[in-house]
Amino acid sequence: MPVLWVIAIVLVIAAIGFFLGRAWALKSANGDQRRLHSLKGYYGYNVALKTVVPAFLMMAFWLLIQPFYINSEVSKLIPEAEIAEGSNLGLVLAEVRRTADGIGNAVDAGVMDQKLATDPAADVEVITQKLKDAGQIVTSDVTPSVLVAAQKHRALSNAGRFAMSVAVIALAIAGAVWGLRETNAEFRARNVVEKGIRVLLISAASIAILTTVGIVLSLIFNTLEFFRLYPALDFFTLLEWAPSFSGRGGASSLGILPLLWGTLYISLVALLFAVPIGLFAAIYLSEYAGAKTRATVKPLLEILAGIPTIVYGLFALLTVGPMLLTVFGPDGTGWMGGGRAVMTAGLTMGIMLIPFVSSLSDDIINAVPQSMRDGSYGLGATRSETIKQVILPAALPGIVGAVLLAASRAIGETMIVVLGAGAAARLSLNPFEAMTTVTAKIVSQLTGDSDFASPEALVAFALGMSLFVITLGLNFLALYIVRTYREQYE
Amino acid sequence: MTDATATPTPTKSLTTSDAHMKKRNAAEKRFKAYGIAAIGAGLFFLVVLLASILTNGLTAFQQTFIEVPVYLDPAKLDKKGNRDPEEMAKVSTFGYAPLLQDGIFAQVEQKGIETPLAKSKDMKALISASAAAQVRDRVLANPDLVGQTVNVRFLASSRVDGYLKDRVTRESVARDKNIDAEHLDLVDALRAEGMVEKRFNWDFITGADASESRPEQAGIGVSMIGSFFMMLVVLFLALPIGVAASIYLEEFAPQNRFTDLIEVNISNLAAVPSIVFGILGLAVFIQFMHLPQSAPIVGGLVLTLMTLPTIIISTRASLKSVPPSIRDAALGLGASKTQSVFHHVLPLAMPGILTGTIIGLAQALGETAPLLLIGMVGYIATNVPDGIAAGFLDPNSAMPAQIYEWAKRADPAYYERAWGGIIILLLFLFAMNAIAIILRRRFERRW
């Protein structure tokens, strides 16, 4: 039974439970609502909660755990010798899963009958042919033991799915019965329901923690796996990035330094571009501009912040790059070889960051109290002198924090560099050369054809880990600076 | 008394400024000019960005079509002559392509257009590879058409389309093996006869992606459906979870370590680069939980986790803006804490929550980087999903991923598609933001 149906059935049971619970509570009070402890709805909610929550929890756990159980059962069926040179158990298991899915689809399509699909002695070639007829993807790796394992996989997952449906629905009914049995006029339904709601709210809030844990664990495990295959020292110190695609770890040199250099260089260009423009725009908007100008210009600038990064990526690739090329390319000064360069990505990223810097700085400048401006004017300072000597020093920690946040955005930016910066890792000072970044390489290593167990793919997780640590570090630093050096005004 | 304080003759008047003051005033003017220049630069970039989107993308909504009478030759399409669709299905698109070429060539001869292209086969360069399939579908749906001469409107090849849109010129085709300058002359002549024309192309908005060699056929419709299903997942997960989390943190959470931990986590997640969420999705949802690759449900889950901090932050702000007197009044009338929140605070905060949710959804709609890692690029979205479950679980693309995919392809005709896709994406974003602003204006309450 599909999962969606199970969910629907549980919800129907809950709805019935709700109405029954409400009715039973009223009946136990002889139809007089005033003799109930809680409002009658709470008795219904009590039953519904007890139906839904345990059943869905069990379903979630079952769905998580079943694949592990099946994998361990199925891998017993695959002899050591079956695992080919250069392959591993995971790849064979993926093959098993694919074959099992294929058989399932073939049976659904009516190409294969149930008997053939479950016959362990079936001829591999017959099955392969049938699978091909059904339009399923079949590789040459289907061997008798893979086939047997696939059939076992299919049998187990079908049985597991069926057992889950039965168990979940049974639990839902049990929960409903439990809720209904406690229903009587004295039962403190409201308190119980409110406690339940509180628990649900806490678990929703905990998802933020779970997400962080998920990110950290998925990064750490794969990074450790990568360092098992590839020396960590090389990763951090090699000045060369040259992944091989032969599948053998030894031939690639995977040094993060050229990528980090590209990342920092592009971010630096972006910040050099965005910070002055953003800061001056913020100063003008908060100190000089009238209410009307402010009300029109600010939202207009913020449009730049709402535009998705893919748009900036395309803008870099197809507008900024060719534009720079006409000025600095072979027909101009001759500094630039191709449209993709540090400058292209940096300028585009700078445009993206202008509203980010300006709106953050704007808030900070506005937070400087008016009395400080008035004091400065009273001493005869002009507006610009007030800004330079009073407001900016007072707002400096906040502005530095804003710049650091912008830097962390720039370092983590992906689409602009994927489309605008180029693919070659280089350690160079020339801003008109193509370089590549950490994020661009994460994308290229994980979207290629290399399998997930090779160091060439796993390196992406190590890169992701570095990126995560760097951006997090910058954010903490920004927060620290703002907190520590902030002037407190009454 | 008057002569006691003889007024000293002033060396200079206060109303005329001296050199120093002039310098200060000049500095003041300069400083102000910097600010105006900065704002001008920002607005300039906005204009350049929008202008380049519009000038490059609007042409994608127009497509070149060829309309000619085509004789559906029974000798080629239905050799046995019994008009049985099943038998006629054996004739592949290769059987139909010459008919179209003949159709154009007949017109060329009939109208007396002078061209060095003397063979009907030479017309192939004008016709999109999709045209034969289109005619074949039409014939198979209505076998009686065989033997008749019908007017058919079909797509011109992307080179011809490019010529009408000034992307392809006589100089640029000199090295192009697909089309020659003679073809372009012919196109001019056919255009004068009204057989070749540009018209609005609905297929770009509703259609499916096409293979690398047929940019004229590609559309964004299927990936739009993929985006739609992803947004459904985000809406139905991120809104309840985000609101529940915010209610807990804002109304119930005691001041303790656990609450602090949650708060720190939320503010950190808001700053984590989106690509890292893609890594999370790949490792957890695909490698660990074996959810199908490229499926909108996986994309939706990843985007949910990414949007949660945004929704939580805005929801908390709107919960905070509900004045405490509302809560106190509810508690004073005997409501429980939970009742005061769910019956009074939450409904009052709802406009703000919805506004924040729509803005979060708009953010999620335009996000690309995490989708790259869970396999939503490289997949050619050619089929409209059949049914709701398939919509969530079958591989599909999403609008930004589709745009990226087009931007990566070698044929420059796809760049126009990418820009056009961006126009559609931005229209969605503007619409969502407009709704958010209207909601805020209409329902926002100042206490």
Q: What is the CATH number for A416?
A: 1.10.3720.10
Structural domain includes residue A202: no
| Alpha-carbon gap, residue B409 to B403, rounded angstroms | 10
Residues A307 and A427 both lie in one domain: yes
Least confident segment among A368-382, B99-113, B308-322, B401-415: B99-113
CB atoms < 10 A from the CB of A65, how many?
11
| Alpha-carbon gap, residue A21 to A48, rounded angstroms | 8
Residue A134 has pLDDT above 80, yes or no: no
Q: Which residue of chain A comes nearest to B27, CA vs CA?
A: A384
What is the structure's pLDDT at A86? 56
- Give the pLDDT band (50/70/90) at residue B376: confident
Residue A68 has pLDDT above 90, yes or no: no
Structural domain includes residue B284: yes
How much is the ipTM here? 0.88
**Signed CA dihedral, A387, A388, A393, A396: sign only:** positive
Buried b / exposed e along B150-189 (16+ C-beta atoms within 10 A): eebebbbbbbbbbbbbebbeeeebeeeeebbeebbbbbeb
Bridge partner list, B156: B127
Residues B196 and B225 both lie in one domain: no
Buried b / exposed e along B387-405 (16+ C-beta atoms within 10 A): eeebbbbbbbbbbbbbbbb
Averaged pLDDT for residues B278-302: 87
Residues A166 and A311 both lie in one domain: no
Averaged pLDDT for residues B257-286: 90
- Give the pLDDT band (50/70/90) at residue A250: low
Residue A239 has pLDDT above 80, yes or no: yes
Residue with more model confidence, B379 or B149: B149
- Give the pLDDT band (50/70/90) at residue A311: very high
How many domains are there within chain A? 2
Least confident segment among A184-188, A206-210, B257-261: A184-188
Chosen domain end from B146, B171, B200: B200
A200 contact B CB<8A: yes
Contact A353, A409 (CB under 8 A): yes
> Considering only residues 292 to 321 of chain B, which have any Cβ-Cβ distance to chain A shorter than 8 Å?
305, 308-309, 312
Averaged pLDDT for residues A392-416: 92
- Interchain proximity B38–A280, CB inside 8 Å: yes
Residue with more model confidence, B338 or A455: B338
Averaged pLDDT for residues A168-182: 92
Give this prediction's pTM.
0.87
Structural domain includes residue B391: yes
Structural domain includes residue B160: yes
Domain carrying residue A129: 3-187
Share of chain A above pLDDT 90, in %: 43
Residues A174 and A268 both lie in one domain: no
| Most A CBs within 10 Å, among B231, B239, B279, B302, to test the A interface | B279
Residues B175 and B257 both lie in one domain: no
- Interchain proximity A315–B49, CB inside 8 Å: yes
B43 contact A CB<8A: yes
Least confident segment among A20-29, B128-137, B266-275: B128-137
How far is A110 from chain B, CA to nearest CA, in Å? Answer: 19
Structural domain includes residue B437: yes
Averaged pLDDT for residues A415-435: 86
- Interchain proximity A471–B312, CB inside 8 Å: no
What is the structure's pLDDT at A89? 67
- Interchain proximity B425–A467, CB inside 8 Å: no
> Considering only residues 219 to 278 of chain B, which have any Cβ-Cβ distance to chain A shorter than 8 Å?
240-242, 244-245, 247-249, 252-253, 261-262, 265-266, 268-269, 271-277
Residues A135 and A263 both lie in one domain: no
A190 contact B CB<8A: yes
Chosen domain end from B167, B200, B233: B200
Structural domain includes residue A395: yes
Structural domain includes residue A219: no
Inter-chain contacts counted by CB atoms under 8 A, chains A and B: 257
Q: Which residue of chain B comes nearest to A465, CA vs CA?
A: B276
| Most B CBs within 10 Å, among A97, A211, A349, A419, to test the B interface | A211
Phi/psi at B268 (nearest 5 deg)?
-70, -40
Cα torsion A380, A385, A390, A391 to 10°: value is 120
Q: Which residues of B touch A307 (CB under 8 A)?
A: 49, 366, 426, 429
Residue B80 DSSP symbol: S
Degrees to nearest 5, angle at CA B346 with B344 and B349: 110
Residue A249 has pLDDT above 50, yes or no: no
Structural domain includes residue A206: no
- Interchain proximity A301–B262, CB inside 8 Å: no
B178 contact A CB<8A: no
A449 contact B CB<8A: no
Render pLDDT for B24-41 as a digit per residue (tens, 0 to 9).
Answer: 999 999 999 999 999 999
Buried b / exposed e along A445-477 (16+ C-beta atoms within 10 A): bbbeebebbbbbbbbbbbbbbbbbebbbebbeb
Residue B100 has pLDDT above 50, yes or no: yes
Q: Which residues of B touch A306 (CB under 8 A)?
A: 362, 429, 433
Bridge partner list, B155: B65
How many domains are there within chain B? 2
Structural domain includes residue A225: no
Contact A435, A264 (CB under 8 A): no
> Considering only residues 1 to 60 of chain A, which have any Cβ-Cβ distance to chain B shorter than 8 Å?
2, 4
Contact A154, A131 (CB under 8 A): no
Render pLDDT for A439-448 as a digit per residue (tens, 0 to 9).
Answer: 999 998 888 6
Averaged pLDDT for residues B260-270: 89
Partner residue facing A412 (CB), from B46, B273, B415 = B273
What is the structure's pLDDT at A332? 77
Residues A340 and A258 both lie in one domain: yes
What is the structure's pLDDT at A35? 86
Structural domain includes residue A470: yes
B35 contact A CB<8A: yes
Q: Which residues of B touch A415 (CB under 8 A)?
A: 368-369, 404
Residue A282 has pLDDT above 90, yes or no: yes
| Alpha-carbon gap, residue A131 to A126, rounded angstroms | 9
Structural domain includes residue A204: no
Tell me, what CATH number does B298's domain have?
A: 1.10.3720.10
Residue B82 has pLDDT above 90, yes or no: no
B348 contact A CB<8A: no
Least confident segment among A238-252, B270-284, B374-388: A238-252
Buried b / exposed e along A389-409 (16+ C-beta atoms within 10 A): ebbbebbebbbbbbbbbbbbb
Domain carrying residue B414: 221-443
Q: Which residue of chain B comes nearest to A443, CA vs CA?
A: B373
Residue B165 has pLDDT above 70, yes or no: yes
Residues B93 and B122 both lie in one domain: yes
Render pLDDT for B225-257 as a digit per residue (tens, 0 to 9).
Answer: 999 999 999 999 999 999 999 999 999 989 899
Chosen domain end from A159, A187, A215: A187
What is the structure's pLDDT at A463? 93
